[in-house]
Amino acid sequence: MEQKLYDAAVVGDVTSLLELIERDPLLVDKTSLYCQDKNPLHAAVIFGHVEFVKAILRDNSDMCLVLDKFGRNPLHLAAIKGRLAVLYELIHARPLAAREKTEGGGTVLHLCVKYNQLEALKYLVETIKDHEFANAKNGDGMTVLHLAICDEQYENNGFTSKSLREEEKQQIQLQISRIEWRYD
């Protein structure tokens, strides 16, 4: 039944989700414990299935805290993919999930910069108004601002194939500089 739940998540089939939960009310709980590589909430988040995400969170909001095999929770994945509507649902279901660090010690804000998700970054900063969170360091001792600046330096020296448009770099740096000053 776990595979059926995962398949429903991939396509965003809320009807199948509800039928599966009706047959086994503990299905979502069991899946969150034993299916790290095929977690249905992670799949629904990646594909941007907002209604499925809402339905599964109504059944078990603790799913927001479950990590995938790379140490990322669903909120991290929503930020990486720029799924703002999903990010909104996850933050409202479990605000503390945003504070969970990745295996590399970074925050969801670090992921927003790394994956060039400026709108997700803005949303998170405006929603979680916390100086410590906004200025947290990753495992390498870098804040979000450091990460954005280093990314630009590496690009200018030809050390990375990732290329942000100049305007996007400026927007990220502006947003991050606001983080630095807003909560001082």
Q: Tell me how far apart the alpha carbons of residues 105 and 63 are, in angstroms, rounded to a whole number.
A: 21
Q: Does 167 score more than 90 pLDDT?
A: no
Q: How is residue 17 annotated by DSSP?
A: H
Token output for 65: 């805290």
Q: What is the DSSP string of 21-69?
A: HHH-TTHHHHHHHH-STT-HHHHHHHHT-HHHHHHHHHH-GGGGG---T
Q: Which domains are present in the chain? A: 1-100 (1.25.40.20), 101-184 (1.25.40)
- C-alpha distances out from residue 138 to 54, 105, 169, 174, Å: 30, 5, 20, 20
The reported pLDDT for the residue numbered 171 is 66
Token output for 7: 């398949």
Q: How far is CA 156 from the centre of its chain?
A: 28
124 versus 177: the higher-pLDDT residue is: 124
Q: Tell me how far apart the alpha carbons of residues 64 and 97 are, in angstroms, rounded to a whole number.
A: 6
Task: Tally Cβ neighbours within 10 Å of residue 163.
Answer: 11
Work out the average pLDDT over 83-109: 94
Q: Which residues have a Cβ under 8 Å from the Cβ of 63 and sit 6 or more positions away?
A: 28, 32, 39, 41, 56, 57, 74
30 versus 91: the higher-pLDDT residue is: 91
Give me the chain's average pLDDT, please.
83
Token output for 68: 């995938």
> Confidence band (pLDDT; 50, 70, 90) for 130?
confident
For residue 3, count CB atoms less than 10 angstroms from its CB and return exposed for 0-12, middle for 13-18, buried for 19 or more: exposed
Q: Does 37 score more than 80 pLDDT?
A: no
Work out the average pLDDT over 82-110: 94
Q: Does 82 score more than 90 pLDDT?
A: yes
The answer to whether the pTM exceeds 0.75 is yes
Q: Does 179 score more than 70 pLDDT?
A: no
